[in-house]
Structure 1
Amino acid sequence: MSRVVLAIKLFLICYENQLYSIINISLIKVKIMTKQYSNKSGQLVIELRQRFLEEYDNNRDLYNDEDVDTIRTNDWYVKRFLLARRRDVDQAFHMIRDTMRWRQQFGLSDMKDTDFPAEFYKVGGLFSYEKDLEGNVVIYLRIRMHRKIPEMAEPIKKFLMFIVNKVDKEVDGNGMAIVFDCSGAGYSNMDMDFLSFLITAGNSYFPVGLKYILVYELSWLLNAFRKIAMSLIPQTFLPLIKFADKSNVKQYITTEALPDFMGGTCKRNYRYVPNGCTTVAKLAIENGFTQTDIDRILPFYEPLLEEADKALQNNHYINKINDKNDIELNEINETKDIIKDSIVCQNKTIQKSTIMGIFPNDFIQLIYSSHSESYESNVLLQNLSDTPIAYKIQCNNANNYIVYPRLGVIMSGANVRCNIQLMSEQSYRKHDKFLIVSVPVNDHKLTVNQFAKLWTENDTKTNIYSHKLLTTLSEFVNENNSNVLMGKKMAESDLNEEVVTLRSLCQQLERRQTQLSLLLYVLLIAMSILLILVLYSHSYTEFLSLESLTIRKFAPKVFVTNE
């Protein structure tokens, strides 16, 4: 009996110790969870929120409802303003009030991806990318691609703030970094107004959101601009400025997360154009610019777009579809049974209706759409196999087309409708064609790097299937004015060709003028050096003559006597 009592006591002791351990662990977890919002700031957050909501009730037209909801529900967002003003509630109130008014006036919360021209995305001059070593999302600004165009200053500023705001929401204000890529930049790319706007906005409207600014490959030729820029930066921002080059940039960002133009190996497409974007020409027209203004603006983007086309053709980029870095997964469509019989399998070695189905399977007929004001068509892809299939769509004239979704993973039995749009400002060419490549995969959850390796590894190369589609431009536009509109498009095409030729000649003249200016500059330096040498030689000759005369004048006379 005593043994039973002893066993029960031992059990109770062990149970009591285990219970204490569980309670202690729970208390530690609670402390960790509540660490971010300490009691020191908790009451101030409530006070600051209440003051702003009273201001909102009196001036509702000055604020955006979505921004106000963020203040109501997000303690950390409110606390950021307190931290920026050292927990001074009065100063934090003025800061948060001015920020909310600026966001409403700027229209920041209402901006969408498609509000900006396709050229802004395609040149790859401003974009968010992979995270750095500290886990911060990085925004890249390629300075050499920036041009100070007065007519485009406002849209470019809005595009910058849209990217910054999008990243700030994505990370909930917990850290982002900005990289100024100065490689290849010159004084023609410097824009003090743009830099001043960025510094003011980052300091005033996104408090405690920026972890650091990394200036990459700053040339000594831009030292004068560097001094001016540093004078504009507030003292609180100066510790955030860091400098790097090719030798030490990996101290901040790994090679796998760096874009290719900085020596990285990441294959994520930083030139990705969202479906439904407008163009620079259309944006200029909407803002009331004349055709003369448009003809002057477009040449700034042409060399950058040509560079983008070459990069897209020579590299296998992967589009980031969602915020988890996963490749897009296309779900099952309810109409799959209806269209299954009309789809032709692309694989030549495996039986039909077992791999990939494509409809149409021969020609893509581009039809004019009054909604998008461009020619477009849809291609239907269906997975007819028992495993997921990864696919991507390539084009021999990528500059003229927007394809969405261009790549992804299709589950077994599912299908996806891909929209192909001919950009309205580009002329159609009869030899334009598309190549659809696909490969079976074991897992539909692929990261960007895993998706890129599918097309290069030897194990999967043998399982890659391809199907070519030609294009044709439909003569039918609409029932009433098809002939008129087609004639207008043909006239615009001829005019575009003439404009392109003239622009090419102008660019050649500009290059020759630059070369001539450089030659004159070199000649001027050479003549200056020669003049200095001549003057120096003349001065030195005079000095020698004067010295010889002085020696003769003051030299002691020697008398010679004959004894």
Structure 2
Amino acid sequence: MIRDRLTRTIDQSAIDLLKKEFSKKTAAEPDLFDPVDLQKVEEDDWWAYRFLAVNSLNQDAALDNMVQSMKWRKEHNFHSFKMNYFPDMFFRTGALFQYETDKQGRPSLILRIKFVRKIKDIQSAIEQFVDHTLWSIDETANGNGWILIFDFKDAGLQNADFDLLHYLINALKIHFPFGVDSVLVVDLPWILKAFWSMVKTWIPNEGGNLVQFMTRKKLKEHFDESNLPDFLDGKCKRPYQGDRVVPNGSPDVYHFGSKVMNVPENKIESIVKIYESIMA
């Protein structure tokens, strides 16, 4: 089934061919793929469509991309992974989280740039958190599109983490093509316009057309107030930060840093101070 939101026409024969070749690849090395993902590819044409579309209908490129992405999914163990693996502060800050739907019923993913900090010692865990958050909203949308909101209010040069944003955009291009319907950039300050000029060069042409710049007031043309959090001038009461959104069993930063990431104690203290400054 191809979703109504997708306007590019791809012949069914091209979709069937990609699915057939993908099946051959996975049969040769089944342990490298998650059975849940293989079943989705077999039953839903959306998966072949998205990789053909992003690779301009090139069968070889689409197959390579699809195989790479599906192996990546198995490596991340998405379908059985527990989010309480991550430290509590990843959730308490409310820097990146899935939220309510827009006026067209599409779920939203919100990134608050003012909470972004480059923390080298746990950067790999931050990237993994991004991966799992992107996977979750892509699964929720199920090919029907979702909205990505970059909230730049109160952000400054200390929040300009090129590496993290490049990582996020690259993940969208490679592993979740045609998942995002709109990228809404809210209240971009002049001091970060040069930063955004660099970021948008990473977005492919078809994705660049999805980017819209707006104020908080303009955002309400896309969302009902009842589906926006308070910091976006909305009235939704659903929590997005603090203790209420921390999964049961999530470790604190001290435990995660020392036991999971093997970070020296003195550096863990520095990481804690960073998070405390964010939450202040």
Superposed displacement of residue 217, structure 1: 0.6
Q: Distance in 2 between matches of 1:266 and 1:224?
A: 33
Superposed displacement of residue 137, structure 1: 0.5
| Aligned position for 1:171 | 141
Q: Distance in 2 between matches of 1:232 and 1:83?
A: 18
Instruction: Call closer, same or farther: CA 1:151–1:107 in 2, change over 3 Å.
Output: farther
Q: Distance in 1 between matches of 2:63 and 2:132?
A: 24
Alignment equivalent of 1:104, drawn from 55, 63, 74 = 74
1:450-489 aligned within 5 A: none
Q: Which has the higher contact order (CA 8 A, sep 6+)?
A: 2
| Aligned position for 1:486 | none
| Aligned position for 1:132 | 102
Residues 474-519 of structure 1, C-alpha deviations (whole Å, 9 max, x = no match):
xxxxxxxxxxxxxxxxxxxxxxxxxxxxxxxxxxxxxxxxxxxxxx
Answer with 235-244 or 84-93: which moved more: 84-93
1:89-488 aligned within 5 A: 89-271=59-241, 272-285=245-258, 286-305=260-279, 307=280
Q: Distance in 2 between matches of 1:205 and 1:150?
A: 24
Q: Distance in 1 between matches of 2:98 and 2:248?
A: 18
Kindly name which structure, 1 or 2, has the bigger radius of gyration based on alpha carbons.
1
Give secondary structure in 2 for the equivalent of 1:248: helix
Instruction: Call closer, same or farther: CA 1:276–1:35 in 2, change over 3 Å.
Output: closer
Residues 315-372 of structure 1, C-alpha deviations (whole Å, 9 max, x = no match):
xxxxxxxxxxxxxxxxxxxxxxxxxxxxxxxxxxxxxxxxxxxxxxxxxxxxxxxxxx
Q: Which runs of 5+ in 2 are unaligned?
A: none
Q: Which amino acid aligns with 1:292?
A: N
Is the contact made by 2:127 and 2:164 (CA closer than 8 Å) also made in structure 1? yes
How many residues of Structure 1 are paired with residues of Structure 2 in the alignment?
A: 274
Give secondary structure in 1 for the equivalent of 2:213: strand
Q: Distance in 1 between matches of 2:155 and 2:10?
A: 47
Q: Distance in 2 between matches of 1:169 and 1:157?
A: 18
Superposed displacement of residue 123, structure 1: 1.1
Q: Distance in 1 between matches of 2:51 and 2:73?
A: 15
Superposed displacement of residue 109, structure 1: 4.0
Superposed displacement of residue 290, structure 1: 1.4
Identity of aligned residues (%): 30
Task: Identify, as 1 or 2, the structure richer in helix.
Answer: 2
Is the contact made by 2:2 and 2:46 (CA closer than 8 Å) also made in structure 1? no
Root-mean-square deviation (CA, aligned residues, Å) is 2.2
Q: Distance in 2 between matches of 1:228 and 1:87?
A: 28
Q: What's the TM-score, normalizing by structure 2?
A: 0.90
Superposed displacement of residue 282, structure 1: 1.5
Superposed displacement of residue 46, structure 1: 2.4
Is the contact made by 1:108 and 1:161 (CA closer than 8 Å) also made in structure 2? no
Task: Identify, as 1 or 2, the structure richer in strand.
Answer: 1
Q: Which amino acid aligns with 1:98?
A: Q
Is the contact made by 2:2 and 2:49 (CA closer than 8 Å) also made in structure 1? no
Q: Distance in 1 between matches of 2:19 and 2:193?
A: 44
| Aligned position for 1:400 | none
Superposed displacement of residue 40, structure 1: 5.7
Give secondary structure in 1 for the equivalent of 2:108: strand
Give secondary structure in 1 for the equivalent of 2:183: strand
